[in-house]
Amino acid sequence: MATTPSTTPYGMDEFRGAFEAFKDANDRRLLEIEKKQSADVLSTEKVERIDRTLTEQKAAMDRINLNQHRPMLEASAGHIQSESKQAWGQYMRQGDVGRLLEAKQLSAGSDPDGGFVAPDETAHEITRLLQDASPMRQIAEVRQVGSSNFKKPVSRGGASAGWTGETAARPETQTPTLDLLAFPAAELYAMPAATQTLLDDSLSDIDQWLAGEVQDVFATQETTAFVNGDGIGKPKGFMAYTNTAEATQQWGEIGYIATGVAGDFAATDPVDSLIDLIYAPKAVYRPNARFVMNRRTVSAVRKFKDADGNYIWQPGTAAGQPSTLLGYAVTEIEEMPDITSNANAIAFGDFRRGYLIVDRAGIRVVRDPYSSKPFVLFYTTKKVGGGVQDFNAIKLLKFAIS
């Protein structure tokens, strides 16, 4: 009798089991604290050990999910390439620039010393893999632009509107307060190396190889800038803007809620500050809002329960599905700060409305077979910018007295 293969993603059952074990161990730890005002050392160590296991299993599942979306490096023998793609392949494999110089759409504004603009297929492959690897690209708005300095006019109070009857006069609405935000694109580079054996292999897809090589390098650099970048020669991160207490926030600043304790949650009812953070943005931002924090902060909030004794953190029920905190998705970004005194360790809000990433069209590649013989280097550059576009959409939790 044939058996039906399981549809449960690899590692999901183990992950759920580990979470149940974590809850049991943490419940015993909390009970010891309630009875004896302190937890047994062995209970605490067990909770921490299972917590580390949960974190490692979640990271492993995310890596498997990402690898499943990566394309194979071998192309089918019957694949027919366009003339421009063939010209690009000859340049990448052999350094032949003749056919590229004839293809004006690839060499416009370029030369053999300054490199060539990659064809659309290559650029799209790199962009697609970046989307998979970059947590900020997954939650923010991403827009492709044709200039190096994208400017966007925004209304601080939203668009003006009013009611009127079918034949009634249309009174003038109040003039909105506009602000012009600039998102300059800075150059990001990577320099993967290939052996001539790989380049000579007719079955290897050089575009997919290049995209895979620059994926992690670009994603790491971008994420660091999108979170903490100072805006000088790089995007400006949402954590780099001036932050002020929510009641005093002005346009151009990010509002924060304080936990009331320097470097920690409140000893009693620690969940209250998270609930306050959820209700800091206006209602219009909450339907698509999410938490953003690093894995160490996730480890801290994973132990919390609500007033009914339910754990406020819940694992995703499928591979690729995020965990939730108080019903809202959690995005783990390692570049977020740890919980320390006065640190803004947790962010919450609608990041798609709040943060804008701009990609300048075109990825340039310079082939260098001389600098690191016997390897061939591919100096690959792209221009990207980013910054906050709606300062009301993102709020921070500050681990401070006020």
Position 97 scores a pLDDT of 83
Position 80 scores a pLDDT of 43
Position 2 scores a pLDDT of 45
Average pLDDT, stretch 302-306?
A: 94
Contacts of 151 (CB under 8 A, 6+ apart): 180, 181, 182, 183
Position 4 scores a pLDDT of 44
Specify which residues 116 forms β-bridges with: 365
State how far the Cα of 176 lies from the Cα of 242, in Å rounded to an integer: 24
Contacts of 201 (CB under 8 A, 6+ apart): none
Which comes out higher in pLDDT, residue 119 or 398?
Answer: 398
Cα dihedral: 348, 352, 357, 358 (round 10): -160
What confidence tier does 266 reach under pLDDT thresholds 50, 70, 90? Answer: very high
Which comes out higher in pLDDT, residue 263 or 4?
Answer: 263
Average pLDDT, stretch 359-378?
A: 92
Distances (CA, A) of 3 to 6, 203: 9, 37
Which comes out higher in pLDDT, residue 159 or 326?
Answer: 326
Instruction: Tell me the pLDDT tens digit for each residue of 163-180.
Output: 777 776 666 666 667 789
Instruction: Tell me the pLDDT tens digit for each residue of 343-368.
Output: 999 999 999 999 999 999 889 999 99
Nearest one of 350, 340, 364 to 395, comparing CA atoms? 350
State how far the Cα of 255 lies from the Cα of 229, in Å rounded to an integer: 18
- Kindly report whether the global pTM for this prediction surpasses the value 0.85: no
Position 150 scores a pLDDT of 94
Percent of the chain with pLDDT over 90: 53
The set of long-range contacts for 319-328, using a CB threshold of 8 Å and a minimum separation of 24, is: 319/9, 319/10, 319/11, 319/12, 319/61, 319/64, 319/65, 320/62, 320/65, 322/290, 323/58, 323/298, 325/274, 325/291, 325/301, 326/271, 326/274, 326/275, 326/278, 328/278, 328/289, 328/290, 328/291
The dihedrals phi and psi of 379, each to the nearest 5 degrees, come to -75, 105
Which comes out higher in pLDDT, residue 8 or 189?
Answer: 189
State how far the Cα of 191 lies from the Cα of 382, in Å rounded to an integer: 12
Could you tell me if 255 and 396 are in contact, meaning their C-beta atoms sit under 8 angstroms apart? Answer: yes
Do the bridges between strand 254-258 and strand 243-245 make them parallel or antiparallel, or are there none, so unpaired? parallel
Q: Give the max Cα distance, the chain.
A: 81
> Among 46-55, 140-149, 250-259, 342-351, which stretch is predicted with the lowest mean pLDDT?
46-55
pLDDT value at 158 more than 90? no
pLDDT value at 72 more than 90? no
- Write the single-letter amino acid at 81: Q
Average pLDDT, stretch 79-107?
A: 71
Position 79 scores a pLDDT of 45
Which pair of tokens denotes residue 334? 């390692």
**Mean pLDDT, rounded, of the chain:** 84
Average pLDDT, stretch 135-152?
A: 93
3-state secondary structure of 227: helix
State how far the Cα of 242 lies from the Cα of 328, in Å rounded to an integer: 26
What confidence tier does 250 reach under pLDDT thresholds 50, 70, 90? Answer: very high
3-state secondary structure of 216: helix
Position 241 scores a pLDDT of 98
State how far the Cα of 356 lies from the Cα of 334, in Å rounded to an integer: 20
∠ CA 49-227-325, rounded to 5°: 45
Specify which residues 236 forms β-bridges with: 230
List alpha helices for 81-205, DSSP H. 83-94, 98-102, 104-107, 120-133, 135-139, 196-200
State how far the Cα of 31 lies from the Cα of 142, in Å rounded to an integer: 47
What confidence tier does 65 reach under pLDDT thresholds 50, 70, 90? Answer: low
State how far the Cα of 402 lies from the Cα of 260, in Å rounded to an integer: 6
Could you tell me if 15 and 65 are in contact, meaning their C-beta atoms sit under 8 angstroms apart? Answer: no
Distances (CA, A) of 133 to 127, 205, 212, 216, 237: 10, 20, 10, 7, 18
